[in-house]
Amino acid sequence: MGRVEDGGTTEELEDWDPGTSALPAPGIKQGPREQTGTGPLSQKCWEPEPDAPSQPGPALWSRGRARTQALAGGSSLQQLDPENTGFIGADTFAGLVHSHELPLDPAKLDMLVALAQSNERQGHGVLVRGPHSGPCPQISSKRSSSFKRAIANGQRALPRDGLLDEPGLGVYKRFVRYVAYEILPCEVDRRWYFYRHRSCPPPVFMASVTLAQIIVFLCYGARLNKWVLQTYHPEYMKSPLVYHPGHRARAWRFLTYMFMHVGLEQLGFNALLQLMIGVPLEMVHGLLRISLLYLAGVLAGSLTVSITDMRAPVVGGSGGVYALCSAHLANVVMNWAGMRCPYKLLRMVLALVCMSSEVGRAVWLRFSPPLPASGPQPSFMAHLAGAVVGVSMGLTILRSYEERLRDQCGWWVVLLAYGTFLLFAVFWNVFAYDLLGAHIPPPP
């Protein structure tokens, strides 16, 4: 939240109009626009209205606190405004911003100046607090939706040079730039991410899950001496990690099945997507959000199988993988014009073909097993459940870059729907099998 300090009191700003760069302060009214003798068109400062009630309004930009005096290097507002008009031109403001070091990212400084210049061209100019109004507002410490609205109103004035024109980048920064263009649909967000990204902490979740899956596969492959279609081995289903309907009471199996795979082909497909899509998503959106999405897809996959395919076991991390992939693909489609990743149409088609082929292979193995088996083969419903989670929960997460999820009504709707599904699935697993008389294969 932005704050205005006036006469020793601090009041929050909330009712700011994102169409202009002006920030109304408590109990103040706007003076008329004037034309200076030499400077560009600017907006007269806000003057206090006697005995006016306090009315809060929002913050513009994040990170750091700036005042007009700080920009001027200790100069008074009288020196900035020798005619005592209470306003300065956009060029003067831009010169102060670029000539002094401020605790703001370079991209944010560009945005700040761009908004000022854009509003000046529209006849608004730059607002500063005048000598009768006290210091100018402080800048908030968090990026908010009002920031994004402000940038959306002024982004036409941003420099046309994108991140692709940044010279002298090292290998890692080029990779960060690649990730920004792969994941984010807006140039403002891409610049924001590029300048604020830090290599610590690294994207450890997806890398750790992939490494654990490979280790488990190698251990079981060496133990069973079988690397393809491992589920046909009679000892495979005895693993304490596999979800089996006969072991529903062992709740950890609803998650740990993601470490087991049918064979090398399924592991290779899932590991490739986790590294190519999951790692960039984690770099941009953070460990907490992406791990939540992945595990939500995994849990929804096993619970959906327990409801719709009651006799089948489940193996593989396809529920989580399809949650990530479907969320990313849906985000690309909904922001098609803004995505700058190369060959996006061809890559979209290839991704859909590969994902559909994997689902088709799982259906074939479920209903037409190529080898004799002692029981039903793993279900394919986890793939579909993961895709549903990705399109709903995942899309909400990916469209909320640098915004609080708890402040969005859509996020709570998605959580309510997911919680309702979990509650229904728990009751189903507790009561439905006995009530319906389902004939499940004996547990191994």
Task: Please identify every residue annotated as catalytic.
Answer: 318, 383
What does 117-136 look like in DSSP terms, one character per residue? Answer: HHHHHTT--B----TTT-SP
Instruction: Kindly report whether the peptide bond that precedes residue 24 is cis, defined as omega within 30 degrees of 0.
Output: no
Q: How far is CA 18 from CA 55, 110, 119, 144, in A?
A: 16, 17, 11, 12
Which residues does 436 contact at the CB level (< 8 Å), separation at least 6? 310
Backbone angles phi, psi at 138, to 5 degrees: -80, 155
Q: How far is the C-alpha of 345 from the C-alpha of 328, rounded, in Å?
A: 14
Backbone angles phi, psi at 11, to 5 degrees: -130, 140
Which residues does 196 contact at the CB level (< 8 Å), separation at least 6? 105
SS3 content of the chain, % helix, strand, coil (to 5): 55, 5, 40
Distance of CA 56 to the CA centre of its chain: 29
Distance of CA 221 to the CA centre of its chain: 37
Distance of CA 1 to the CA centre of its chain: 21
**Taking the chain, what is the end-to-end CA distance rounded to the nearest angstrom?**
59
CB 16 within 8 A of CB 98: no
Q: How far is the C-alpha of 343 from the C-alpha of 338, rounded, in Å?
A: 14
Which H or E run contains 299? helix 287-308
Q: How far is the C-alpha of 266 from the C-alpha of 272, rounded, in Å?
A: 10
Distance of CA 365 to the CA centre of its chain: 35
CB 296 within 8 A of CB 386: no
Structure tokens that stand for 345 in this block: 């149409």
Bridge partners of 29? Answer: 47
Q: How far is CA 270 from CA 104, 141, 305, in A?
A: 40, 39, 19
